[in-house]
Structure 1
Amino acid sequence: MPARLVQQKRPAPLAEILAAPPGNARCLYWLGQAGFVIEAEGKRLVIDPYLSNSLAEKYRGKLYPHQRLMAAPVSPLELGRVDLVLSTHQHTDHMDPETLRPLMAQQPGLKLVAPRAAREEATRRAGVGPERLHLVDAGERTQPLPGIFVTATRAAHETLERDAAGNHKFLGYVIEIGNWRIWHSGDTIPYQGIIDDVAPLRPDIALLPVNGRSAELLANNVPGNLALGEAIEIGREIGAEAVIAHHFGMFDFNTEDPAAIDRAAAATPKPHLFRADPDQVFLWEEQR
């Protein structure tokens, strides 16, 4: 039966919603930057949560001070029961110790999916032993929980980088919950082979960063991401039903204009383009 993505206003504050156990509805909530809560079939996954102000502390007085423009919609301890947390790479806005440590400490059975190339940083930042890490590399399909499969894809932020052992430093994940497939690309620009990597995995929804990139930022050690038009084209070529544009509105030096995303959404019949919004919920609904 065909399905579609619907975006609507959250019925309550996010902390109140997440205080209840996850239900069977297939839905997504944006946490800001690249972070999402994914719920389906009684499971709750959290990917790339940045719910602190740790980067502002780290870069205080620097060229780019990393002050948050968007308040965190919840604290790490307001995520409720989490079944799995995933980090696409070790940049702090994707693998934040001030988010992961309290979350992992609160829920002793919780495991973290992370790149094998980030083993040491994932262990340190999450504050856990290796038995609580589920490490992967690009091209691997794994089952971290019953009924949930994760396939790691390559990501180029802004290049395809590997560690000394050949493991990719930047990843995306195709998450399968039942017959629902979501691709979170991680931080990436277009690279040769990206469509061949992802299209065979048949994601229904693509979560894609749209803050773009510039030579000035890269020269100051701020690698970039897809431009909005590139994200739309990749979503089209992989056959996704919908693209959710994210990774904007957090830092003033590295963002995209929400109005530009809305204009593109109005002009894009396929894939259906949505702008992530912390006050909204995305529902994957079957059409009858």
Structure 2
Amino acid sequence: MSDDFDNLFPTGATTRKGLLSAFGRRAAQSVPIPDLPGGRTPEDEFFDEEPPDHVEPLLDGEDFVAEVRESNAETGMHIWWLGQSGFLVQIAGESVVLDPYLSDSLSPERLRITGLVAQPEQLAFVDAVVSSHSHADHLDPGTLPGVLSGAASFVCAAGIEDLAGERAGGRSPDASLAPGEAEAVGGFVICAIPAYHEGAPEAVGYVIRSGAYAFYHAGDSRRVQGMAEAVAPHGVDVAFVPICGVNGVMNGADAARLAYEAGAQVAIPCHYEMFRDDTAGVSRFVAECVRLGQEYRLPRVGERVTIDYGY
């Protein structure tokens, strides 16, 4: 009995939502799971989804760029998913791109199934480009030289400065950040958050703030205690969380819990539908968001999501 009681509580510091989430998971785990033929579980039955053959962006090319540029004068935080873990976020007329993969540089080993939202050079107008770690779908040699061909600042995780410069076509990073470190880039303040990703010990997430708006980009990571606790004090409006559930990355349920425990107002999933061998459906993520009461959005690639408080 004492062991069961002890296991109710996460170890170390946690957020209030983290404690409530732990109680909820414990209650769910106490419900008997019925047997299904072939040793399958209800989770397998309900959440298995075949990846699509091809994903077409809602907007791409010049149409996509035009929408981004036209949003400059509008209030709020404007978000576009670029595919995989890539996002373009615009606040107060300034834009930051995170982990863009706008090429097919990993072919033929890994063929992309999502169409390009834009050519890298078409995004050279952005103000900052940020990379979470060294894996090529987050630090892409086929993308970085193009998006950095304008005047954008370049930020990467600490410890990979030489590799980042090489992948960017000889352009050295303007800043490299370890967990807990921060850098002001134009109107953005970029703070590195702990992440835990196999094969990338340098991996970090980021909380980025501009004025009243803040968002969290988890990068690639397992969900580990301490991540939500590092994000919660920032009061983020949106959390971008990976859901593929393979190669040392959290699954959809853990992604929803991370967003909830971090206190994000809205959760947006990523790291899926880019490669056939490294994807997941969104059902597990959605189901856990519903269970927790976590607001979420499921944008298509190239679709705008706006958080607007009127300023």
Q: TM-score, normalised on structure 2? A: 0.75
> What does residue 40 of structure 1 align with?
91
Note if 1:152 corresponds to 2:192: yes
- Note the 1:72-221 alignment, pairs <5 A: 72-79=116-123, 81-105=125-149, 107=150, 109-130=151-172, 132-145=173-186, 147-158=187-198, 161=201, 169-213=202-246
- Note the 1:7-18 alignment, pairs <5 A: 13-18=63-68
Tell me, what secondary structure is at the counterpart of 1:73? coil
Report if the CA contact (8 A) 1:23-1:39 is conserved.
Answer: no
Tell me, what secondary structure is at the counterpart of 2:65? helix
Tell me, what secondary structure is at the counterpart of 1:97? coil
Note if 1:232 corresponds to 2:256: yes
Give the CA deviation at 1:199: 1.3
Tell me, what secondary structure is at the counterpart of 2:142? helix
> What does residue 166 of structure 1 align with?
none
Q: Which runs of 5+ in 1 are unaligned?
A: 1-8, 162-168, 214-222
Tell me how far apart the structure 1 counterparts of residues 192 and 256 of structure 2 sit (CA, whole Å): 21
Change beyond 3 A, Cα 1:287–1:270: farther
Give the CA deviation at 1:192: 2.9
> Which residue identity is paired with 1:93?
D
Change beyond 3 A, Cα 1:70–1:29: same
Change beyond 3 A, Cα 1:274–1:20: closer
Give the CA deviation at 1:160: 7.9
> Which residue identity is paired with 2:259?
G
> What does residue 78 of structure 2 align with?
27
Give the CA deviation at 1:260: 4.8
Report if the CA contact (8 A) 1:181-1:202 is conserved.
Answer: yes
After superposition, the C-alpha distances for 1:63-83 in whole angstroms (9 at most, x for unaligned) are: xx2111101111101225110
> Which residue identity is paired with 1:144?
V
Tell me, what secondary structure is at the counterpart of 1:208? strand
> Which residue identity is paired with 1:227?
N
Tell me, what secondary structure is at the counterpart of 1:72? coil
Percent of aligned pairs with the same amino acid: 27
Tell me how far apart the structure 1 counterparts of residues 171 and 286 of structure 2 sit (CA, whole Å): 43
Note if 1:69 corresponds to 2:102: no
After superposition, the C-alpha distances for 1:262-282 in whole angstroms (9 at most, x for unaligned) are: 5555x3563212223114210
Give 1 or 2 for the bigger CA radius of gyration. 2
After superposition, the C-alpha distances for 1:102-133 in whole angstroms (9 at most, x for unaligned) are: 2223x1x3221101211111111112443x52
Tell me, what secondary structure is at the counterpart of 2:164? helix
Tell me, what secondary structure is at the counterpart of 1:117? coil
> What does residue 270 of structure 1 align with?
293
Give the CA deviation at 1:32: 0.2
How much is the aligned-residue C-alpha RMSD, in angstroms? 2.4
Q: Which runs of 5+ in 2 are unaligned?
A: 1-57
Tell me how far apart the structure 2 counterparts of residues 53 and 14 of structure 1 sit (CA, whole Å): 19
Q: Larger % of strand: which?
A: 1
**What is the aligned length?**
252
Tell me how far apart the structure 2 counterparts of residues 254 and 95 of structure 1 sit (CA, whole Å): 17
> What does residue 50 of structure 1 align with?
101
Report if the CA contact (8 A) 1:23-1:40 is conserved.
Answer: no
> Which residue identity is paired with 1:247?
H
Tell me, what secondary structure is at the counterpart of 1:152? strand
Note if 1:249 corresponds to 2:256: no
